[in-house]
Amino acid sequence: MGSNGQPKIYPNLNPAAALPVDRSEIFTLRNFAEHYRMSRGREHGHYVPNSRFIFVTMTDGSTLLHQRYRHPAISEGKPVLYAGEAFFNNGRLEWWSNGSGNYRPDSDHAAQAGLPMDQFYSYDQILKGAHTQSKIEQAKPALVQPYMPFRPNGQAQSWALRSVQSPLALPLPTHRSTK
């Protein structure tokens, strides 16, 4: 929202980019139970988004998207509440950003897009790969963790490092001396 409680409206900064396109190819995004579906034109079927899309959130609150068309073509050059890119994996939103050179929405008004803020990355963060790094960090298992063993009298021994085995890992063979 703007400073006066009204939403910030973003104008198209490049009117020449508002090329006419076949409106029946533009998808409308719908969300239910953390899954997204798309519909287009007068078709009754639904599509499952499964790639990167360019999107605009129109002033009426609808979210329009396409894989190739630029933001002004999708919005017909009209002002929007927000514009950017979104990546879906089998109907689940993985990340979205404010990546739009024609509308240049700022991160402060990202909530106007109507998408989950915990999956928002600024365009600069996308360029640096932050949207993939956080997934890698979350998936990385902790291989070593510190622990402090205690003696029976309650005195702490020195700090040591203990390996944490995956439940799928097999124990390593031990070598015994035959002396």
User: Which residues does residue 53 pair with via DSSP β-bridges, in sequence order?
Assistant: 86
Q: Is residue 59 part of a domain?
A: yes
pLDDT digits (tens, 9 = 90+) for 65-120: 999 999 999 999 999 999 999 999 999 999 999 999 999 999 999 999 999 999 99
Q: Is residue 153 part of a domain?
A: no
Range of the domain at 78: 15-138
Q: Is residue 158 part of a domain?
A: no
Q: Is residue 169 part of a domain?
A: no
Q: Is residue 177 part of a domain?
A: no
The average pLDDT across 143-147 equals 48
Q: Is residue 129 part of a domain?
A: yes
Q: Is residue 28 part of a domain?
A: yes
Domain count, the chain: 1
Q: d(Cα 96, Cα 108) in Å, to the nearest integer?
A: 14
- Identify the three-state secondary structure at position 132: helix
Q: d(Cα 105, Cα 108) in Å, to the nearest integer?
A: 9
Whether this model's pTM surpasses 0.75: no
pLDDT digits (tens, 9 = 90+) for 18-65: 999 999 999 999 998 889 999 998 888 899 999 999 999 999 999 999
Q: d(Cα 39, Cα 36) in Å, to the nearest integer?
A: 10
User: Which residues does residue 76 pair with via DSSP β-bridges, in sequence order?
Assistant: none
- Identify the three-state secondary structure at position 88: strand
Q: Is residue 84 part of a domain?
A: yes
Sequential DSSP letters for 103-116: T---GGGGGGG-S-
